[in-house]
């Protein structure tokens, strides 16, 4: 049994229990990296620094003192207790899936995995769901994984979505620097996205963006002329896919490129994920971001 | 080889071809709505690129369209005429004319219903591909329906037909049939005549041959032993009884059956009120008169109806008559002083025995006649007399000017140049000394104007010979500028001249009625001639009368009888028939002629003056009452050319075309329908296969939207 099999969204969809999904994803993912389930715990040594008055004398490295006759204290990696907030876009457009799972399902798996993973890291974990406004919010705490997972599990698709208002409110409600994982399909004007993202990142938050898309949204592999209905507005238009496929792909690619460019300009980690991809891609991005943040501290 | 269709209206169903087009282009995927996260980018693409203008499954589209076309063609009943005509021996394309007699004799008993049944059978039994026409005829013939390949058109037209009020004229059928047949491209022609075949319907002197190659199929609906009583005419006699004007109407009733009729009631009603009744007993093929009255003379022109008891043929049981309110026309006969009494004997007796209208004749001498006598008369006759002198002469001129009539009968006492100057203007001409034609055994009348009312009754070939009387002496007439010669002698001399003066008219006749100057008074034409002249000079005063159904009436004449000048009329004339059908006629701008199609009373009145209604009595042609049958074989032989195939009488009932045979001949539509069905089956199979082979793309069924 390979690890990636457990990370396949199709396999995860059959499990049903979100807690188990998160455990499966995180343990399987970690197992594939190395054997330690406690990567980056606070006992890791970082560096030495000269002793200063007031430092705990228990942190003085006596071996270094014996070799150098100078007092140095050990500098360890930062302790846990970082705030991790998972921001999930539950607007109706997320309720689309050309395969076994929808983008919202994928977002739930990803959010649950991130929550579980962060909990293992002893981070404080919280979750916010929103469409055109905040729908549900669980503040970040260190002991509410069950609440967070339950909240994620009970997510229902919302209505029309937008980024500006809910992210502004989230930015106002997050008072402590946090790691913010934003999961959305970003059907929004790039300028709006820019303002919303900047509002979050400029408050000192570390923002990582998961741009979730369905393969059909990327490839537009429809054959039959059909009535296409907007999931958010209910608007219908007749579409001949063969005629517009090239034009559509040009537009969506351009949009994705613009979003990616905005994220880069805003120094936001951007991860475009497809619901057909295993979750490890997203988790790798998150992990690398998380490790980088720990080292900085 | 041409293609025709029995029910071409079904081609409107080709509109249904638009259905598969709409299905393929517009509505085909309406059931598969693809839910998509956002149409944000789709709507940015120009709309014309998103319209589903492309037909993807051409084969399915072609199948569906072809199936619909075949169904429409099947319902339109296509007919390859060329094939049928040339290859089907027993059912060639034929031109068939069904002629239905609708004269009133067809109302006898159940004859009309039998006629409709026979017509329906004749129409329905025609082979597939026959081109059918339905015509009706009485004295005229007209096309009611067709030519058409759809028998239903003719059958529907049958429902609207009823017997009329006219007689029968078989020549009308053959003449109209020939017109239709000459226009037909089909070689095989048949005329089916459905009639009661009365002997009087065929005038052997009229050319009535069908064009060669035409089959005549008579359908005989004559009755073997018809019984019918009819009123053939009425006489009206007026008299004065105890100071009151009375009327006696005598009706002539004929029994045209072979059984005697006993105690047949005969009733007279005037303006709807029964006023007299009697009974008659009539032996077979004989007639009797029924005397009704005396009854009081009506005060206005009345609607009199004589009716006999019911029998199998109702239209001839009633006789309508417009009964005049006027007493007998008064005629003042002025003779020369000293003229012998017997000089005007023939004239007096002729006038006295008139009854339609009756004349009341008074006599006076030219030297003693009073102006009052002249004023009281409708017509003044100066019989071999000088012009009255003095006041009487002036009264006579005034009498004519005001609408009275004057008949000047010249004789030996009509002195030349003795007439006053005031009377000159009313003279149609002057006369000269007597000319004697004894040397050539007299002269007779020639160059007679039979359109003039005085001679109109002699216009027919059997209506009297006006050239029979011999004239041995006469006064030559030199016409005035306005005078009109109505009749001339064989030597060219004017016998009768006419002129209008004021509102009246003056006739000038060149020979007295004394049986000396001519033998006219002892000829049969004398009485009607005198009567017609007297009626003419009376100025169109209302008289008893009736007209025959089908006759054309001149409304201007009717208005004259009503005392209305059509030239000064300021409104339309309403002619209301017995069935209450109204027709407006503007005699000022259109022809004043109206055909009297129905039997009964027509009402004529100026628009808005219904109370001034003037009745015009119309009766059916009594000759049609004679139900004696015609020798049909003789008729068929006479009207068909020698090389014409002729069906035997009654052959229609033994037509060999069976329903199964007919259906087989018309079965082409079955193949089309089956073809359409097969196409639909293939379409279903192909459609299912196409669906399975090309499943809907993943985006068509979002799983999380349930």
Least CB-CB distance to A244: which of B49, B54, B705?
B49
Least CB-CB distance to A240: which of B32, B50, B697?
B50
Say whether pLDDT at B372 is over 60.
yes
User: How would residue B542 be classed by pLDDT, with cut points 50, 70 and 90?
Assistant: very low
Best of A106, A224, A244 to mutate (most B CBs within 10 Å, chain B): A224
Q: Which of residues 46-65 of B touch A (CB under 8 A)?
A: 49-54, 56
Cβ–Cβ pairs < 8 A, chains A and B: 127
Residue A27 has a pLDDT of: 61
Q: Which of B9-13, B313-317, B563-567 has the highest mean pLDDT?
A: B313-317
Report which secondary-structure segment, H or E, holds B136.
Answer: strand B131-137
Angle of the B632-639 helix axis to the B170-182 helix axis, nearest 10:
40
Long-range contacts of B650-658 (CB under 8 A, 24+ apart): B650/B218, B650/B219, B650/B220, B651/B217, B652/B118, B652/B121, B652/B122, B652/B125, B652/B192, B652/B217, B652/B219, B653/B121, B655/B125, B657/B91, B657/B125, B657/B126, B657/B127
- Distance from C-alpha of A187 to C-alpha of A89, rounded to nearest angstrom: 11
User: How would residue A211 be classed by pLDDT, with cut points 50, 70 and 90?
Assistant: very high
C-alpha pair distances (Å), A269 with each of A180, A193, A282, A289, B443: 10, 14, 11, 8, 143
Q: What's the gap in Å between the CA of A130 and the closest CA on chain B?
A: 16
Q: For B230, how many CA atoms within 13 A lie in the half-sphere containing its CB? A: 25
Contact B414, B431 (CB under 8 A): yes
Q: What's the gap in Å between the CA of B667 and the closest CA on chain A?
A: 43
Q: Which of A204-208, B45-49, B617-621 has the highest mean pLDDT?
A: B617-621
Which chain A residue has the Cα nearest residue B696?
A224
Chain A hits for B706, CB-CB cut-off 8 Å, are: none
Inter-chain residue contact B41 with A227, CB threshold 8 Å = no
Q: What's the gap in Å between the CA of B43 and the closest CA on chain A?
A: 8
Q: A249, A273, A271: which is closest to A260 by C-alpha? A: A271
Chain B hits for A230, CB-CB cut-off 8 Å, are: 36-39
Q: Mean pLDDT lowest for which of A40-49, A279-288, B310-319, B427-436?
A: A40-49
pLDDT digits (tens, 9 = 90+) for A236-265: 888 888 888 888 988 999 999 999 999 888
Contact A118, A30 (CB under 8 A): no
- Distance from C-alpha of B164 to C-alpha of B149, rounded to nearest angstrom: 28
Mean pLDDT of B396-406: 88
The DSSP line for B167-224 is ---HHHHHHHHHHHHHT---SEEEEEEEE--BGGG--TTS--PPPTTEEEEEEE---S
Best of A98, A251, A255, A274 to mutate (most B CBs within 10 Å, chain B): A98
C-alpha pair distances (Å), B610 with each of A173, B300, B305, B540, B623: 100, 15, 21, 22, 34
Q: What's the gap in Å between the CA of B159 and the closest CA on chain A?
A: 55
Inter-chain residue contact A251 with B703, CB threshold 8 Å = no
Mean pLDDT of B199-221: 82
Angle of the B526-537 helix axis to the B345-352 helix axis, nearest 10:
70
Say whether pLDDT at B398 is over 50.
yes
Q: Mean pLDDT lowest for which of B351-355, B360-364, B397-401, B595-599?
A: B351-355
**More confident position, B514 or B238:** B514
Q: A82, A86, A108: which is closest to A97 by C-alpha? A: A108
pLDDT digits (tens, 9 = 90+) for B164-190: 888 888 888 888 888 888 877 777 888
pTM (predicted TM-score): 0.46
Residue B649 has a pLDDT of: 39
Say whether pLDDT at A76 is over 90.
no
Q: Percent of chain B having pLDDT more than 70?
A: 84
pLDDT digits (tens, 9 = 90+) for B525-538: 999 999 889 988 88
Contact A197, A128 (CB under 8 A): no
Chain A hits for B30, CB-CB cut-off 8 Å, are: 227
Residue A29 has a pLDDT of: 57
Inter-chain residue contact B33 with A236, CB threshold 8 Å = yes
User: How would residue A13 be classed by pLDDT, with cut points 50, 70 and 90?
Assistant: low
Say whether pLDDT at A9 is over 70.
no
User: Is the ipTM above a cut-off of 0.90?
Assistant: no
Say whether pLDDT at B412 is over 80.
yes
Mean of per-residue pLDDT scores for chain B: 80
Buried-state track B199-216, b at ≥16 Cβ within 10 A, e below 16: ebbbeeeeebebbeebbb
Contact B501, B400 (CB under 8 A): yes
Inter-chain residue contact A223 with B697, CB threshold 8 Å = yes
Which chain A residue has the Cα nearest residue B55?
A225
Say whether pLDDT at B229 is over 80.
yes
Inter-chain residue contact A240 with B41, CB threshold 8 Å = no
User: How would residue B655 be classed by pLDDT, with cut points 50, 70 and 90?
Assistant: very low
Q: Mean pLDDT lowest for which of A272-276, B421-425, B460-464, B609-613?
A: B460-464
Say whether pLDDT at A203 is over 80.
no
Structure tokens at B38: 């956002």
Inter-chain residue contact A225 with B41, CB threshold 8 Å = no
Does any CB of chain A come closer than 8 Å to the CB of residue B370? no
Q: Percent of chain B having pLDDT more than 90?
A: 14
Inter-chain residue contact B33 with A226, CB threshold 8 Å = yes
Contact B259, B226 (CB under 8 A): no
Q: Which of residues 460-479 of B touch A (CB under 8 A)?
A: none
User: How would residue B423 be classed by pLDDT, with cut points 50, 70 and 90?
Assistant: confident
Q: Which of A220-229, B95-104, B222-231 has the highest mean pLDDT?
A: B95-104
pLDDT digits (tens, 9 = 90+) for B577-605: 898 888 888 877 777 788 888 889 998 88
Least CB-CB distance to B696: which of A94, A101, A224?
A224
Structure tokens at A185: 């399909």
Residue B550 has a pLDDT of: 81
Say whether pLDDT at B202 is over 60.
yes
* 3-state percent breakdown (helix, strand, coil) of chain A, nearest 5: 45, 20, 30
Q: Verify cis geometry, omega within 30 degrees of 0, for the bond prior to B294.
A: yes
Contact A206, A286 (CB under 8 A): no
Residue B23 has a pLDDT of: 67
User: How would residue A12 be classed by pLDDT, with cut points 50, 70 and 90?
Assistant: low
Q: Residue B388, class by beta-carbon neighbours within 10 Å (0-12 exposed, 13-18 middle, 19+ buried)?
A: buried
Chain B hits for A223, CB-CB cut-off 8 Å, are: 694, 696-697
pLDDT digits (tens, 9 = 90+) for A84-140: 889 999 999 999 998 878 999 999 888 888 888 788 777 788 999 999 889 998 888
Say whether pLDDT at A266 is over 60.
yes
Residue B84 has a pLDDT of: 40
Does any CB of chain A come closer than 8 Å to the CB of residue B27? no
Inter-chain residue contact A237 with B39, CB threshold 8 Å = yes
pLDDT digits (tens, 9 = 90+) for B687-699: 777 665 544 443 3
User: How would residue B663 be classed by pLDDT, with cut points 50, 70 and 90?
Assistant: low
Q: B514, B507, B513: which is closest to B400 by C-alpha? A: B507
Does any CB of chain A come closer than 8 Å to the CB of residue B22? no
Category of A119 on φ-ψ map: left (φ > 0), alpha (ψ -120 to 50) or beta: alpha
Q: What's the gap in Å between the CA of A297 and the closest CA on chain B?
A: 40
């Amino acid at each position: 049994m390979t690890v990636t099999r457990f990370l396949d969204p199709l396999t995860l969809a059959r499990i049903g229990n979100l807690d188990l999904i998160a455990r499966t994803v995180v343990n399987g993912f970690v197992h594939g990296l190395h054997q330690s389930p406690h990567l980056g715990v606070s006992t890791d040594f970082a560096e030495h620094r000269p002793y200063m008055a007031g430092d705990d004398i228990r942190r003085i490295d006596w071996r270094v003192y014996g070799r150098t006759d100078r007092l140095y204290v050990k500098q360890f990696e930062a302790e846990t207790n970082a705030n991790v907030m998972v921001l999930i876009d539950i607007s109706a457009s997320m309720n689309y899936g050309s395969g076994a799972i929808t983008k919202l399902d994928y977002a739930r798996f990803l959010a649950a995995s991130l929550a579980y993973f962060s909990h293992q890291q002893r981070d404080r974990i919280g979750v916010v769901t929103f469409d055109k406004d905040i729908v549900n919010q669980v503040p970040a705490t260190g002991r509410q994984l069950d609440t967070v997972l339950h909240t994620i599990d009970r997510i229902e698709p919302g209505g029309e979505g937008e980024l500006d208002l809910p992210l502004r409110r989230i930015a106002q409600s997050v008072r402590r620097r946090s790691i913010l994982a934003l999961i959305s399909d970003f059907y929004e004007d790039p300028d709006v996205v820019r303002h919303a993202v900047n509002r979050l990142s400029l408050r000192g938050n570390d923002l990582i963006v998961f741009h979730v898309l369905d393969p059909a949204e990327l490839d537009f592999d429809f054959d039959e002329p059909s009535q296409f209905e907007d999931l958010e507005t209910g608007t219908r238009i007749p579409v001949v896919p063969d005629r517009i496929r090239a034009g559509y792909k040009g537009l969506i690619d351009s949009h994705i490129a613009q979003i990616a460019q905005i994220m880069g300009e805003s120094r936001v980690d951007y991860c475009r994920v497809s619901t057909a991809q295993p979750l490890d891609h997203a988790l790798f991005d998150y992990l690398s971001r998380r490790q980088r943040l720990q080292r900085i501290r | 080889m041409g293609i025709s269709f029995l029910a071409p209206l079904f081609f409107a169903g080709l509109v249904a071809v638009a259905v598969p087009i709409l299905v393929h282009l517009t509505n085909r995927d309406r059931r598969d709505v693809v839910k998509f996260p956002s149409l944000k980018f789709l709507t940015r693409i120009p709309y014309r690129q998103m319209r589903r203008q492309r037909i993807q499954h051409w084969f399915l589209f072609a199948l569906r369209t072809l199936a619909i076309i075949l169904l429409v063609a099947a319902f339109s009943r296509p007919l390859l005429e060329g094939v049928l005509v040339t290859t089907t021996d027993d059912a060639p394309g034929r031109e068939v004319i069904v002629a239905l007699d609708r004269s009133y004799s067809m109302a006898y008993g159940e004859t009309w219903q039998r006629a409709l049944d026979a017509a329906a059978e004749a129409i329905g039994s025609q082979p597939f591909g026959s081109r059918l026409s339905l015509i009706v005829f009485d004295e005229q013939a007209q096309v009611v329906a067709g030519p058409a390949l759809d028998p239903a058109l003719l059958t529907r037209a049958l429902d609207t037909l009823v017997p009329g009020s006219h007689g029968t004229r078989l020549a009308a059928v053959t003449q109209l049939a020939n017109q239709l047949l000459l226009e037909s491209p089909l070689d095989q022609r048949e005329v089916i005549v459905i009639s009661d075949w009365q002997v009087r319907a065929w005038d052997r002197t009229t050319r009535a041959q069908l064009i060669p190659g035409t089959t005549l199929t008579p359908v005989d609906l004559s009755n073997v032993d018809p019984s019918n009583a009819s009123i053939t005419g009425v006489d009206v006699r007026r008299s004065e009884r105890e100071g009151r004007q009375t009327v006696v109407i005598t009706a002539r009733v004929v029994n045209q059956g072979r059984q005697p009729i006993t105690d047949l009631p005969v009733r007279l009603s005037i303006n709807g009120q029964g006023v007299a009744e009697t009974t008659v007993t009539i032996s077979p093929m004989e007639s009797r008169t029924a005397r009704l009255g005396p009854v009081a003379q009506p005060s206005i022109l009345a609607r009199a109806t004589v009716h006999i008891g019911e029998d199998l043929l109702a239209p001839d049981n009633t006789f309508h008559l417009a009964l005049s309110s006027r007493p007998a026309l008064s005629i003042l006969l002025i003779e020369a002083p000293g003229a012998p009494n017997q000089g005007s004997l023939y004239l007096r007796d002729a006038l006295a025995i008139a009854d339609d209208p009756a004349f009341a004749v008074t006599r006076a001498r030219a030297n003693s006649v009073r102006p009052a006598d002249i004023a009281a008369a409708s017509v003044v006759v100066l019989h071999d007399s000088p012009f009255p002198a003095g006041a009487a002469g002036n009264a006579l001129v005034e009498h004519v000017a005001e609408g009275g009539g004057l008949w000047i009968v010249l004789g030996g006492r009509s002195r030349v140049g003795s007439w006053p100057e005031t009377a000159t203007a009313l003279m149609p001409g002057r006369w000269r000394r007597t000319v004697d034609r004894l040397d050539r055994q007299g002269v007779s009348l020639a160059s007679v104007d039979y359109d003039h009312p005085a001679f109109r009754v002699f216009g027919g070939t059997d209506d009297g010979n006006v050239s029979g009387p011999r004239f041995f002496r006469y006064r030559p007439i030199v016409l005035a500028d306005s005078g009109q010669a109505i009749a001339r002698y064989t030597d060219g001399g004017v016998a009768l001249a006419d002129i209008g003066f004021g509102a009246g008219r003056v006739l000038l006749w060149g020979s007295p009625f004394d049986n000396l100057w001519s033998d006219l008074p002892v000829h049969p034409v004398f009485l009607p001639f005198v009567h017609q002249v007297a009626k003419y000079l009376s100025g169109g005063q209302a008289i008893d009368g009736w007209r025959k159904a089908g006759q054309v009436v001149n409304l201007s004449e009717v208005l004259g009888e009503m005392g209305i000048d059509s030239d000064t009329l300021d409104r339309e004339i309403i002619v209301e028939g017995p069935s209450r059908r109204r027709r407006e006629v503007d005699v000022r701008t259109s022809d004043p002629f109206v055909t009297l199609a129905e039997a009964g009373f027509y009402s004529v009145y100026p628009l808005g003056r219904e109370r001034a209604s003037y009745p015009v009595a119309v009766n059916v042609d009594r000759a049609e009452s004679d139900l004696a049958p015609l020798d049909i074989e003789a008729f068929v032989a006479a009207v068909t050319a020698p090389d014409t195939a002729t069906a035997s009488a009654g052959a229609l009932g033994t037509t060999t075309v069976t329903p199964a045979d007919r259906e087989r001949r018309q079965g082409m539509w079955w193949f089309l329908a089956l073809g359409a069905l097969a196409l639909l089956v293939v379409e279903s199979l192909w459609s299912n296969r196409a669906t399975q082979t090309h499943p809907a793309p993943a985006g068509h069924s979002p799983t999380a939207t349930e």
